[in-house]
Amino acid sequence: MKILLGVGGGIAAFKAAALASLLVQRGHELRVAMSRDAEAFVGRKTFEGLTGRVAIVSATQIDPDGTAPHITATRWAEVYVIAPATADLCARLAHGVADDAVSLAAVAFRGRRVLCPAMNDAMWNDAFVQRNVATLRAAGFLVLGPVEGRLAEGYAAIGRMVEPETIADCITGAR
């Protein structure tokens, strides 16, 4: 499959690298879009090395071949998975904001969109976050997780991103 992976600026971004690696190992073609803050957590070179493709890191990027990747990558991809989706990203997506590579691709992409939220439990339980995620569900996003498990803060609660293996299985129809 041709997969576009959107990476948000949360602690689980390192798991997006594991997801990218897994998808490539399974024979899928992958391109990565990174939100404005994603690079505070994982560098673009990690994704470029894993995918063999230039990462999309801004809403105004032009690729070396002169094309705008928010159009070429969204036409190319069969599925768009956003993992991790931060609270901030969920808010932007729910309002059609298109000011970074991940949200712009979400607006431009017309196929199956999969959202994997990951955040602290207090954030996940916030009324605005819940409303934004409900809006995204209603707009056709398949929302995977979050699940209960150990959070970065050191305790177990809801908010953990679904494991890369589960995401890979779900988006590629494996198992």
CB of residue 77 to ligand FMN, shortest distance in Å: 19
Q: Could you say whether residue 106 binds ligand FMN (CB under 6 A)?
A: no
> Looking only at Cα atoms, what is the longest distance across the chain?
47
Choose, by CB under 6 A, the member of 35, 51, 74, 132 that binds ligand FMN: 35
The smaller minimum CB distance to ligand FMN, of residues 77 and 91, is found at 91
Q: Could you say whether residue 39 binds ligand FMN (CB under 6 A)?
A: no
Q: Note whether 85 and 5 are within 8 A (CB).
A: no
Q: Could you say whether residue 132 binds ligand FMN (CB under 6 A)?
A: no
E strand spans, 37-135: 79-85, 112-117
* Crossing angle (nearest 10°) for helices 164-172 and 13-25: 50
Question: Residue 30 forms beta bridges with which residues?
Answer: 3
Query: What single-letter amino acid sits at 73?
Result: A
Give SS3 for 40.
Answer: helix
Q: Could you say whether residue 133 binds ligand FMN (CB under 6 A)?
A: no
Q: Could you say whether residue 4 binds ligand FMN (CB under 6 A)?
A: no
Q: Could you say whether residue 36 binds ligand FMN (CB under 6 A)?
A: yes
Residues that bind ligand FMN (CB under 6 A): 8-12, 35-38, 86-89, 118-119, 123
